[in-house]
Structure 1
Amino acid sequence: MSDPTPLRVLFCIGINQNFFDLPSAGVTVDDVWRAFVEMMDGIKALPGVDFIGDIDDDAHMVGPSDSWPWTCYLLADVDSQETVRAACNLFRTIAVGEGGFKLWRYAKVEARMGRALTPRSYEPVEAN
């Protein structure tokens, strides 16, 4: 039996140098943006995903982001690790433009999984 409590997942997305080198090989910034929107819509449409919100920090960050701080974040409650994997796999499968490149060539994703931060009751331990 699986745990009915969803995973709280933060999808951390970084834009890489290939994006900043556009246009190149017949791919434009608009092509990447269309693929990026398809990825976001794809994550939201996955069964078991309850989308909470997103944050975009491209106005305060210049250049590629290979790690924290990331360019943008998506927050969702997700039913399983398999669904998180399917969401991340969209970066491997969504085509950008007509040249055969996939979204991962221009952006990366890392998923952080945990639980919602909720108050928990506890019994204080008396000091001896």
Structure 2
Amino acid sequence: MSDKKALRVLFCMGINQNFFDAPREEQLQVWAAFSEMWNGIHDLPGVEVIGNMDDDKSMVGPSDGFPWTTYLLADVADIETVHAACNLFRTTPVGETPYKLWRYAKVEARVGRELIIQRA
């Protein structure tokens, strides 16, 4: 039997220009969809959320890459579960619009392992 370690994953999320161009009512629907996606990641089997960080006070405007708007750090059982979390951006509907969340936000999953430094 193997002791397969969880993957340490940093989900880097960015809000794009479509969100800022949307009317206020649509932005509120995007926020509700983002909340659904966020809770969906937490609820995936094999995901243990460690923490998060929001950069919205010092990062203003759309983020196409670093610096990202918000981050979620989690231990994830396997790469398929990482992909399922990212897929929530493709499948989460935004209110009554014909759009999914990925029209307004993006995600990049950085996958690694927990760094353990032994004391000498």
Does the TM-score normalized on the shorter chain lie above 0.5? Answer: yes
Q: Take 2:3 and 2:15, find their aligned partners in 1: how far apart are those partners?
A: 34
Deviations 1:52-109 (A, max 9, x none): 1111111111111001010000000000000000000000000001011000000000
Task: Number of aligned residue pairs: give it.
Answer: 120
RMSD: 1.7
5+ residue gaps in structure 2?
A: none
- Find runs of 4+ consecutive structure 1 residues off by over 3 angstroms: none
| Other-structure match for 2:91 | 93
Superposition map of 1:74-89 within 5 A: 74-89=72-87
TM-score, with structure 1 as normaliser: 0.88
Q: Structure 1 residue 121: deviation in Å?
A: 7.2
Superposition map of 1:1-128 within 5 A: 4-23=4-23, 28-120=26-118
Relative to structure 1, is the Cα distance of residues 50 and 95 closer, same or farther in structure 2, using a 3 angstrom cutoff? same
5+ residue gaps in structure 1?
A: 123-128
**Identity, % of aligned pairs?**
65
Q: Which moved more, 1:90-99 or 1:111-120?
A: 111-120
TM-score, with structure 2 as normaliser: 0.93
Q: Structure 1 residue 113: deviation in Å?
A: 0.5
- Larger helix proportion of the pair: 2
